[in-house]
Amino acid sequence: MGPFSVSAVGFGAMRLTGPGVFGPPGDRGEALAVLREAVASGVDHIDTAQFYGPDVVNELIRDALYPYPDDLILVSKVGAARDRQGRIIAAQQPAQLRQGIEDNLRTLSVDALPVVNLRLIGGSEPDAFFDDQLAAMVGARDDGLLKAIGLSNITSAQLLHALQVTDVACVQNEFHVGNRVSQPVLDECTRRGIAFVPFASLGFGMTGPDAVLGRSAVMEEAARLGVRPAQVALAWALAVSPTVLVIPGTSSRRHLRDNLAAASIELDAEAIHRLSST
Ligand SMILES: NC(=O)c1ccc[n+]([C@@H]2O[C@H](COP(=O)([O-])OP(=O)(O)OC[C@H]3O[C@@H](n4cnc5c(N)ncnc54)[C@H](OP(=O)(O)O)[C@@H]3O)[C@@H](O)[C@H]2O)c1
């Protein structure tokens, strides 16, 4: 991931809150245990955001893992905030991005973050406002608040434009067997060796025939291999490009173990084709 070498399976920490990514988790002990077991099992990149909770997830990460292992890459994101009712609202202005970075540093108790994603909300074209946002990220990096810049919810045009301004360590867009809208962005990342870190690689954990974990192709492949549907979904994401790193989110150690084991599941070409065709 940019200047950092990390394992294929990381951890998405968003699910460690209460319902609706808001407030504290129902089981704080399990949330701390999930984080500790993840790192003890070799997870070396954790995706987070100050607006998860808000503050809740960053503070759990700090309480579980501080002082952080040298090789742990904390990846946060800026571009959103929470209102009084807990709704996620845009915080896209350059000054808000800077404030978001500083809020992350405070809640994670670090002086600098390895990677911060600029998480875009609205707008798909590279415009003057996007340039201002990139300038805020580059300014924060120049000031030593972060080491590498990532982009989230972007189009290929925005990625190509951003690359004229800065190195891009990673791209984080939604991508899974049920949603391949970002395939052109993934292809661009693959060509350029930029880490593509899909979010919702488990389709947000939903089941049912249209959801990732309930799709017949996923369930049939899982049954054929004697593994879990979630493991097939993750193995597929890892198989579609060598540049993919997955960050499945879970609040349970049981699911964490399943998800980490997905790294060693190899799908054959026929299975990849079948899963990609549904
Ligand atoms: N950049 C962005 O805009 C953005 C947006 C959304 C998320 N993200 C990041 O991406 C990460 C992943 O996304 P996500 O958590 O929304 O979706 P996800 O990883 O597709 O799915 C998470 C859901 O799947 C369930 N799950 C996890 N492992 C499972 C397993 N082995 N078997 C069955 N169910 C399983 C979890 O429930 P349990 O808790 O019960 O395991 C949870 O409800 C987040 O944690 C967050 O860090 C980024």
Structural domain spans, the chain: 11-276
pLDDT digits (tens, 9 = 90+) for 233-246: 999 999 999 999 99
pLDDT digits (tens, 9 = 90+) for 181-228: 999 999 999 999 999 999 999 999 999 888 999 999 999 999 999 999
Active-site residue, 52 included: yes
Backbone phi, then psi, for 247, in 5-degree steps? -130, 60
Give the whole-number percent of the chain exceeding pLDDT 70.
100
How far is residue 10 from each of residues 163, 199, 201, measured CA to CA in Å?
25, 11, 12
Residue 278 has pLDDT above 80, yes or no: no
Is the pTM higher than 0.85? yes
Residue 85 has pLDDT above 90, yes or no: no
As for ligand 1, residues whose beta carbon falls within 6 Å of it are 12-15, 47, 77, 119, 152-153, 172, 199-205, 213, 228, 230, 247-252, 255, 258-259
Query: What is residue 214's three-state secondary structure?
Result: helix
Report which ligand 1 atom has the smallest distance to the Cα of 252: 41
Residue 123 has pLDDT above 90, yes or no: no
Ligand 1 midpoint to CA 84 (Å): 24
For 81, the token pair is: 């905030």
Among 177, 181, 120, smallest CA distance to 153 is for 120
pLDDT digits (tens, 9 = 90+) for 95-115: 999 999 999 999 999 999 999
For residues 278 and 275, what is the distance between their CA atoms, to the nearest angstrom? 6
pLDDT digits (tens, 9 = 90+) for 167-184: 999 999 999 999 999 999
Ligand 1 midpoint to CA 107 (Å): 22
Among 237, 230, 236, 233, smallest CA distance to 256 is for 230
Q: What is the mean pLDDT of residues 150-168?
A: 98
Chain Cα centroid distance, residue 233 = 15
Query: What is residue 238's three-state secondary structure?
Result: helix
pLDDT band at residue 124 using 50, 70 and 90 as cut-offs: confident
pLDDT digits (tens, 9 = 90+) for 240-263: 999 999 999 999 999 999 999 999
Report which ligand 1 atom has the smallest distance to the Cα of 259: 31
For residue 161, count other CB atoms closer than 10 A to its CB. 17
pLDDT value at residue 130: 96
Residue 125 has pLDDT above 90, yes or no: no
Contact 59, 21 (CB under 8 A): no
For residues 200 and 245, what is the distance between their CA atoms, to the nearest angstrom? 12
- CATH 3.40.50.300 describes domain 11-276: no
Cis peptide preceding 67, ω within 30 of 0: yes
pLDDT band at residue 15 using 50, 70 and 90 as cut-offs: very high
Give the whole-number percent of the chain exceeding pLDDT 90.
95
Residue 62 has pLDDT above 80, yes or no: yes
